[in-house]
Amino acid sequence: MSRELRLPSLGADMDAGTLVEWRVRPGSRVRKGEVMALVETDKGIIDLECFEDSTVERLLVEPGTRVAVGTALALLAGEAAPATQVGSGAEVTAPAVRASPAARVRARVLGVALEGLAGTGLGGAVTLEDVERVARTAAAVPVAGKAAGLRAAIAAAMSRSKREIPHYYVQLTIDFGPAAAWLGAYNAHRPPLERLLPAVLLLKATATAAREFPAFNGFYTAQGFESAAVVNLGVAIALRGGGVVAPALLDADRKPLAQLMPELQGLVERARRGHLRSGEAASATLTVTSLGEEGADAVLPVIHPPQVAMIGFGSVLERPWVVDGRIEVRPVLGASLAADHRVTDGRQGAQFLARIRDGLSKPEAL
């Protein structure tokens, strides 16, 4: 029984992708987890993984072809169910970049993003020469081009979010003292490679809480809300030159801190190289954004559809804090929750944030 490998939707903001390269050929036996193809999306090149052991019968799409989500890319033989998440199969409605076929091929080879590139050819089409000129000039230019495409993707997804999701917000300031003390002690005796970043604690505390509050962890689709069986925690990662992507740390609630740290490190690196794996690019069930050292008190996030909640952490700042009736200087952290009112209400949101706070107060238990 052959079945189709379709272009999966790797995010709510993805409705098409360009097949860059096949890593398999007809007749290839592929094992679960093996990379079958590279697909270029607005968020960079993503590895298309095989989810079941299969044999490739036929490749249906030529490299260089831009196809809609849900398009069959290859025929696979094997007993298993379809290899990847199947998208809607909707037509690409976004206007295509006007570029000559030769320019498209060269752009792929040179790693130049066509989006946002000013074409000088007939009808304003991007030509070979345009691509080569861009490739010759500083690397900053294609990044800017790429960033423009990413910006467009973010714009589309966030607009949809604000259009469709009735957001509500809950805020809570958390005493980060216990966590900071624990972390300082933990890192003090370890070489740089084994140290933890504060972000790991925030992620783990959130993931653990999410397991107890499944109404914030899942997807809202045409069929309504369905909570996820796992906690794949999306991490908003800022890209240099602008833009943000939010790939997932898979099963974040089940992994010890010492494992989460290198996974987070790898995730950031892949995101910034524009080379995320398909399994992590689109699977987040709940997302966290952390502003780190930027000095903001708090951040009110916009939910990534089809998720139903997002946690935002401001910077850890020293602030006066009342302890046992006295004012002390403490490192504090502004935590915010944006959540989907179609699924939960503010009271539940406050409980969810409180549970995160509790987790951070006992970091040794994380």
Query: Minimum distance from CB of 52 to another protein (Å)?
Result: 33
Nearer to another protein, 103 or 276 (CB): 103
Q: Judged by CB under 8 A, does residue 141 bind another protein? A: no
**Any contact of residue 82 with another protein (CB under 8 A)?**
no
Is residue 323 within the footprint of another protein (CB under 8 A)? no
240 binding another protein? (CB under 8 A):
yes
The residue from 98, 151, 167, 195 that contacts another protein (CB under 8 A) is 195
Q: Is 105 among the residues that bind another protein (CB under 8 A)?
A: yes
- Of 292, 321, 351, 361, the one binding another protein (CB under 8 A) is 292
* 139 lies in the binding site for another protein (CB under 8 A): yes
Contacts 24+ apart (CB under 8 A), 213-218: 213/348, 213/351, 213/352, 213/355, 215/308, 215/343, 215/344, 215/348, 216/286, 216/308, 216/309, 216/337, 216/339, 216/343, 216/344, 216/348, 216/349, 216/352, 217/285, 217/286, 217/309, 218/285, 218/307, 218/308
Query: Contact with another protein (CB under 8 A): which of 273, 275, 341, 342?
Result: 273
Residue span 85-104 as binding mask against another protein, x where in contact by CB under 8 A, dash where not: ---------------xxxxx
In this chain, which stretch among 14-22, 127-135, 160-168, 299-307 interacts with another protein, using CB under 8 A?
127-135
Contacting residue, 33, 124, 166, 346, with another protein by CB under 8 A: 124
Output the six-digit token pair for 124. Answer: 């304003």
Total number of residues binding another protein (CB under 8 A)?
Answer: 41
Q: Which amino acid is at 200?
A: V
Q: What's the min distance (Å) between Cβ of 328 and another protein? A: 21
Closer residue to another protein (CB): 198 or 359: 198
Cβ-based nearer residue to another protein, 53 or 132: 132
β 286-290/309-323 pair status: parallel
Query: Which one of the spans 32-40, 84-92, 159-167, 266-274 is the region binding another protein (CB under 8 A)?
Result: 266-274
Q: Which residues bind another protein (CB under 8 A)?
A: 64, 100-105, 119-125, 127-129, 138-139, 143, 184, 187-188, 191-193, 195, 197-199, 238, 240-241, 264-265, 268-269, 272-273, 292-293
